[in-house]
Structure 1
Amino acid sequence: MNETADRVLGGCRIAVLLATAAIQIGLSLSRLDDTPDRIAFAVLAGVLVVAAWWVLRWKPVPWPVALSGTVVVLAASTVAVWTLPPDRLLGDEDWASGLAGWHLLVLLLDRPAVAMSALVLQMTLTFVRQIGAAPTDRGEIGGMVIVGLSVLTFQAATLALIRVVNRRAGEAAEASAERDRQAHRKALAEEREADQRSRFAGQLGATLPLLAGLADRTLDPRDDAVRQRCALAATQLRRLFAENDDVPDPLLHEVSACVDLAERRGLTVTLAVSGESAPVPTAVRRELTGPLMTALVAARTQARVSVLRTGDEIRVAAITDGEPGVTVNGSGAVDVEWHALGERSWMEAKWRSRPN
């Protein structure tokens, strides 16, 4: 149950507690007759004080306390009822029959089914006393049943109303929480969209000088360096498009996009993946795939790419038959290593989700 519903139910508990205390002191104290009545009254008052220890702190009465308190309330009510003459039951002198039900509500408000059963049992004990004590005519029995059912119905309606109010409060709180979640998701989506537009604009700004150079022939497309720049720009755009896709494994999807474009350029690329998919922040994925793009663009004929995920560490590595002219290093979050292996080059980008 959410916090709002808890607060509403806690307020209802306090209201029932205060109403019960007012009824016991204001309406029942003056009706006490003999010693058993006073003892039963004191016992009910003691139960109310014990329950107040939790209720006034906005907490439900613990189940063991509520169960034992229910037994005590039923016993005290039975003593008070059975000391009255049958013809006085449910009359002005019968203070216990109605009061005991309110004590049961205080104890069992959080357990509506048990509370209803206890209310019915308490009123049944009164009926048994009336019917079993002495012969009565049908009119007396009918009148007693009407009065008893009126008391029981009012208390049951109070219980039902509190539960409805509590449920509505919970539904309202859940609806409010859902609106907050939707607003949060919308804000995140707008933030991602703005970031994506910014990155597209930045990438386009970096690509325009290259396109302009090719258009005005200041750059020669037959030059290896120019071809590498074109391949890198295309790979960066392809990876940027892949970043915006909704896929279960974004990192592998973006690595595959880089590999796919390298294969379209005629490279023979093998991709090996080890380990289960793990969440990786977008910025970290960019830094993991940045060196990979540089390595693939520099490759002449073949490359071997691997994605290794073990525990809290993720590695993206590539062995190619070309040496990149400019190596791309990572930030403090991603460590990047470049090594020459004869006529080959080896690159590894490493990220730990929980740095030492």
Structure 2
Amino acid sequence: MTAPGYGSGYARGTALAAIVVACIWHVLNNLTGTLIYRADYRTPWPQLPAVLVPLAAWVVVAVVTAVAALSLLRRPHDTPVLLPPSAFALAGVALMLAATVVVASSSYPTTTFVSANWAWTAFGWSAMLLLWRAPLGWLLGAQAANAVAVVIALVATRPVDRVDAARVVLTLYGATALQLGLFAGCRFMQRLAARVGSAQTARVEIETRKLVAQQIHEARQERYRQVGHSLVELLGGLADGSSDPGDPEVRRRSAVAASRLRRLIAERDEADSPLLHELRACADIGERRGLQVGLEVVGELPDMPVAVRRALTEAPIHLLAVAATHCRITIIAGPGEVEVSAVADVADGTEIDETAGTGSGASTGVAVVWSRDEEAVWVRTTWYAR
């Protein structure tokens, strides 16, 4: 993945540069040369103006170039994905090779190396657009085919001496070097832009992760302060004698504080199911004081924010703190819904805070319902995904 505006922008920009060069060259050099040397062409049809044959070849190349340019602009890519040329690209190359033969055959020997015989030197500009996404070897092969085509046309229509052969080689070398140079430069810019975009994306991801980690750390520190404050009050009361360790209310507050601390520690662990992992940590506190705790899961738990998981577990924590001998916790996950249901036996006279969990539930969309039937107390916390 690349950063927006880098790979795609350079891909479109380099393609646009190649299109501009090809179009300007075809109009200013090729069309101008055809019109200026309109009287210096030959044709097998004396009844028709000789310029019509190279002019028709110019139109064919213009159409192929225009279609290739439009196709290229409609398909920008972040990176130069190399693919074999399409059937249209190969047909376009074949048409331009035919134009090379036609224009070279129509030119007199005196106009072989001027703009009247434009097709063979201009071939590479349009071929570059047709083979823009193909490996470089395809463009080299097309250039080689163009060289063979022009040599065959020249040899078939006029005598070619050593000087002409040398001029052909030098002309082809000069034209091909410019075209391949632009093509390679565009490819280099695209690849460089893709690397820069990837580096920027990686930097943004790292900064985002750092920001998220900082926010999580700050939230966790705040939770530590809250839990620590309640523990300080509780331990302070036990230390100065103002709180009786045998008082059921003090024992309930101690169990709730211990469960909250275990839940907070469990939030730092990496687990496949964080909610289940945190409830197991809370259940462990109850088991340590002799409770029989059952924990079941039905369905597949979705990803939930930490605040939602805390709201879902807050009320069951309070029930675990007052349970007499056993507590059963069931987690049920359905489409767009998660429910935590806890049932426990509670001794007669035990006070239960039936507002537990409602405060955090209101801010996170978690509904809390308490009910009691003689010694059995049931609490259900439900979260609906938005």
TM-score (norm. length: structure 1): 0.88
Aligned to 2:125: 102
Distance 1:214 1:151 in 2: 94
1:257 aligns with one of 278, 281, 296 = 281
Question: Aligned AA for 1:234?
Answer: A
Asked if 1 retains the 8 angstrom alpha-carbon contact of 2:10 and 2:193, the reply is yes
Distance 1:115 1:313 in 2: 59
Aligned to 1:334: 366
Deviation at 1:56, TM superposition (A): 6.5
Classify 1:121/1:261 alpha carbon distance in 2 versus 1 (closer, same or farther; 3 Å).
farther
Question: Aligned AA for 1:12?
Answer: T
Question: Aligned AA for 1:333?
Answer: G
Classify 1:270/1:90 alpha carbon distance in 2 versus 1 (closer, same or farther; 3 Å).
farther
Structure 2 residue matching 1:276: 3-state secondary structure: coil
1:235 matched to 2:235? The reply is no
Distance 1:97 1:195 in 2: 71
Deviation at 1:59, TM superposition (A): 4.9
1:28-107 alignment, distance < 5 Å? 28-32=30-34, 33=38, 34=41, 35=51, 36-53=53-70, 59=76, 66=89, 69-84=92-107, 89=112, 93-107=116-130
Asked if 2 retains the 8 angstrom alpha-carbon contact of 1:120 and 1:152, the reply is no
Aligned to 1:10: 12
Distance 2:296 2:261 in 1: 23
Structure 2 residue matching 1:271: 3-state secondary structure: strand
Q: How many equivalent residue pairs?
A: 353
Asked if 1 retains the 8 angstrom alpha-carbon contact of 2:14 and 2:189, the reply is no
Asked if 2 retains the 8 angstrom alpha-carbon contact of 1:90 and 1:148, the reply is no
Deviation at 1:133, TM superposition (A): 5.3
Asked if 1 retains the 8 angstrom alpha-carbon contact of 2:29 and 2:115, the reply is no
Aligned to 2:80: none
Structure 2 residue matching 1:349: 3-state secondary structure: strand
Distance 2:10 2:75 in 1: 10
Classify 1:325/1:116 alpha carbon distance in 2 versus 1 (closer, same or farther; 3 Å).
same
Structure 2 residue matching 1:246: 3-state secondary structure: coil
Question: Aligned AA for 2:9?
Answer: R
Choose 158-167 or 120-129, whichever is displaced more: 120-129
Deviation at 1:217, TM superposition (A): 0.4
Classify 1:29/1:145 alpha carbon distance in 2 versus 1 (closer, same or farther; 3 Å).
same
Distance 2:240 2:205 in 1: 52
Deviation at 1:58, TM superposition (A): 8.0
Deviation at 1:205, TM superposition (A): 1.4
Percentage of identical aligned residues: 31
Distance 1:149 1:87 in 2: 21
Classify 1:252/1:324 alpha carbon distance in 2 versus 1 (closer, same or farther; 3 Å).
farther
Structure 1 residue matching 2:242: 3-state secondary structure: coil
Q: Which has the higher contact order (CA 8 A, sep 6+)?
A: 2
Deviation at 1:88, TM superposition (A): 5.7
Note the aligned Cα RMSD (angstroms). Answer: 2.7
Structure 2 residue matching 1:175: 3-state secondary structure: helix
